[in-house]
Each structure stands twice: as C-alpha cells, then as structure tokens.
C-alpha cells in the first residue's frame, strides 16, 4: 500500500512538473519564437518541429492569406461544424497555389482547393469546406507529418494527396525528412491530436530535429525522399486514412508536356536536380509518379488523372514554369477532382458527410480502383 501511495505521489509530482514546464514555455512563447523563416521571399513558410516547415498562422500579404490554423484561405474552426463535408487537399506549392508567369513575376491567383469549394457549393453542396493544406517545398514526408499532427484533428471526411515533385529534389542540407524511421512514425501516429498543440511536444521534436541535423551528412546526389521511403510514405497515408475512417485519393502530378521544350532560363543540372537534361528530369519524375499509380492500385485508392486535360489546354502551363499549373490549370484540376469525387460517391446527398460510418466500414477492404478520367464519364 505504501509503495502504491509513493507511486501516486511520484506521478503527481511528474504531472505537476510537466504542467509547470508547459506554462513556462507558453509564457516564453516557444512555439511562436521557434517558428522562424529562413527564406527572404517565402516569408510565410516557417520552421515547424513537427513537419520541418509549415505556413505561418495569420500571415497576410497581397494575394497570400493564411488562416489562424496555418492553412491558406478563409478561417475555419478546428472542430468540424455538424453536417459539414470537410475535404482537405494535401500538397506542395502546386496545391498552395503559385506559378511563374515570366522570369521575374510570380502569380498566386491559382488555388485549386478554393476553386473546388466554389464548384461544389455552386452545384448545390452548400455545407462543404475544402481546406488548402499545401505548403511550398513539401514532400510526402512533410505532408504525412502534417497529416498526422495538424490535419487529422480537423476530422476530415476526404483527403486528396498531390505530391512527388520535391521528393526527388536534391537534399542539399542537413535536414532529415520527417518519419524516416519506424520509431518516429510510431510516435507521431500514436499521439492524440491535442498533444501536438503543447509546447512541450514542440520542444521535444525540436530537440530531436536538431540532433538529427547534427548527425546528418547528405551526399551530393541524395534525394529528399528516396523511392523506397516515398512508397512507404504513400502506404502510410492510406493506412492512417483507413484507420481513421477518412476517404483518400491520390492526384497525378504531370509536368508541362515534354514536347513544349524547356523553360528558357532552365539549366541542368541545378540546385534542385542532378538530372542532366529535361528528358532525364521527366524520366526521374515519372519513376516517382509510377509508384503513386502502383500504390493506388495495390491499396484500392482512387487515382485521379488530370494529365490529359492539362496537356490538352495550351494555357494550363506557362512557358516559364515546368511544374506549376497556371490559374487556368488550377481550374482544370478542380474540375477533374470535383467530377472524380462525384463519381466515387464521396460527396454524399446534399453535402452530407461522405465518411463511412463506424469501425466496420473503416475495416472494409476498399474496392479496386483505376486511373480516373473525368472526361470519360461525362
């Protein structure tokens, strides 16, 4: 009995110490202080101990507006309103919304998640929220870390994943991509959502990231996310979605048609890639995209193909941007995505929740899928 009492006292002391530490960190504004930007242009992309980088909550500048939860677009509540169909689009800069119109001009008037929301509401699905969870420079590793730490807590009904371009980019730093080890993945997937809002959690991951960086010596040709980890991350997206009863779809990530040639000021190799030609870069990108197609087929995950529609429109890519669709391209992606979600039956009647009810539905083996072409079903 005495041992039990001593244990209770020790546990109480530990909990009190943790509460005090959390209070001190809050007073010091640790979470805000550590969220610094090292990029003089993309100043809203700040360091995040959980996913390496994220959008700065509350940032507003010209065409870029980040809400208080760190997602581009209008304010949303963390708790999903009753009756709301919540779709979260996870991706990189092409999802966030930016493209190069000329050598010195960047445009931000492209945001396919916002366009998707407008389309769905115009079609009569009024209670739909489409969250833009795109972050410049994101890989599958960072996107998955964001999913576990910030997105699942939003209780999404559907997520879409459009990633792969930055995964095969050169690492060129001592940063270690998140979730590179099974132990880190087990920890991040096991923590409850509210734990990620604690400064103690941020401090623990911050210390871990610094230790990782101190022991990292990347080789000149090392990719951000090598193919085996890329494939593993895609499977983890699917596994986590099934475990939480979330519908998931992969989007393709087409480059501008190879026949249109290189961007006028493009050089190979570059800081981004060790590919020696445009053809070699396309071939490398195709290797990663083939993995997306394979994982989608193996897991019965819908794969939404937009390449045909994007390449058919001469205005979907500018002459100065190989990978980022223009505003017209973003509208095409939104159109194809809206049709694919409708055909999959994920939009529900009158915008009702698309989530399969109950654990039994979550455990069901998903139906086999094939690349989706919205034009073929119209």
Per residue in 54-88, pLDDT tens?
Answer: 999 999 988 899 999 999 999 999 999 999 999 99
Residues 291-323 pLDDT 10s:
999 999 999 999 999 999 999 999 999 999 999
| Tokens linked to 39 | 């990029």
In eight-state DSSP terms, residue 197 is G
Asked if 242 and 177 sit in the same domain, the reply is yes
* Residue-by-residue DSSP string for 239-267: HHHHHTT-EEEEEP-PPSPGGG---TT--
How sure is the predictor about 165, in pLDDT bands with cuts at 50, 70 and 90? very high
Name every residue whose Cβ is closer than 8 Å to that of residue 190 and which is 6 or more positions away in sequence.
none
Top-confidence residue, 4 or 34 = 34
Instruction: Kindly report which listed range (206-210, 227-231, 232-236, 363-367) carries the lowest average pLDDT score.
Output: 363-367
Range of the domain at 24: 1-34
Q: Report how far residue 330's alpha carbon sits from residue 112's, in angstroms, rounded to the nearest whole number.
A: 5
Q: Given CA atoms 42, 46, 52, 55 in this order, what sign does their dihedral have? A: negative
Q: Are residues 24 and 169 in the same domain?
A: no
CATH number of the domain at 134, please.
3.40.50.1110
- pLDDT bin (cut points 50, 70, 90) of residue 271 is confident
User: Which H or E run includes 140?
Assistant: helix 140-146
Same domain, 87 and 27: no
363 vs 264, residue with greater confidence: 264
User: Above 80 in pLDDT, residue 97?
Assistant: yes
Query: Does 237 share its domain with 109?
Result: yes
Query: How does the average pLDDT of the chain come out, rounded?
Result: 89
Question: Whole-prediction pTM value?
Answer: 0.91
Are 247 and 365 contained in the same domain? yes
User: What is the count of structural domains for the chain?
Assistant: 2
What residues contact residue 2 under an 8 Å CB cut-off, 6+ apart? Answer: none
- Are both 3 and 139 inside the same structural domain? no
């Amino acid at each position: 009995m005495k041992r039990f009492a001593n244990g209770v006292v020790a546990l109480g002391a530990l909990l009190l110490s943790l509460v005090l530490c959390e209070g001190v960190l809050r007073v010091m504004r640790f979470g805000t202080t550590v969220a610094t930007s090292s990029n003089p242009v993309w100043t809203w992309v700040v360091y995040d101990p959980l996913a390496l980088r994220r959008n700065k909550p509350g940032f507003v500048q010209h065409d870029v507006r980040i809400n208080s939860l760190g997602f581009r677009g209008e304010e949303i509540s963390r708790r999903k309103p009753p009756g709301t169909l919540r779709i979260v689009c996870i991706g990189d800069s092409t999802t966030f919304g930016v493209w190069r119109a000329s050598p010195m001009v960047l445009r931000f008037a492209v945001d396919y998640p916002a366009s998707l929301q407008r389309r769905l509401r115009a079609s009569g699905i009024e209670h739909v929220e489409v969250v833009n969870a795109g972050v410049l420079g994101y890989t599958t590793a960072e996107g998955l870390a964001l999913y576990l730490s910030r997105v699942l807590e939003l209780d999404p009904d559907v997520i879409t994943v459009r990633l792969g371009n930055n995964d095969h980019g050169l690492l060129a730093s001592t940063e270690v991509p998140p979730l590179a080890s099974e132990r880190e993945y087990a920890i991040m997937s096991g923590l409850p959502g509210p734990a990620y809002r604690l400064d103690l959690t941020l401090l623990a991951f911050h210390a871990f990231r610094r230790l990782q960086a101190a022991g990292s010596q990347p080789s000149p040709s090392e990719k951000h996310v090598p193919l085996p980890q890329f494939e593993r991350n895609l499977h983890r997206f699917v596994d986590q979605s099934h475990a939480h009863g979330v519908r998931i779809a992969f989007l393709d990530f087409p480059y501008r048609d190879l026949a249109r040639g290189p961007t006028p000021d493009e050089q190979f190799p570059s800081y981004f890639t060790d590919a020696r030609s445009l053809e070699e870069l396309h071939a490398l990108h195709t290797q990663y995209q083939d993995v997306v197609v394979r994982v989608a087929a193996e897991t019965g995950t819908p794969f939404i193909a937009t390449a045909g529609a994007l390449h058919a429109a001469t205005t979907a890519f500018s002459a100065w941007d190989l990978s980022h669709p223009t505003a017209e391209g973003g509208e095409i992606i939104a159109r194809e995505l809206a049709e694919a979600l409708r055909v999959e039956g994920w939009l529900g009647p009158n915008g009702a929740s698309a989530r399969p009810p109950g654990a039994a539905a979550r455990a069901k083996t998903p139906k086999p899928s094939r690349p989706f072409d919205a034009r073929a079903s119209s």
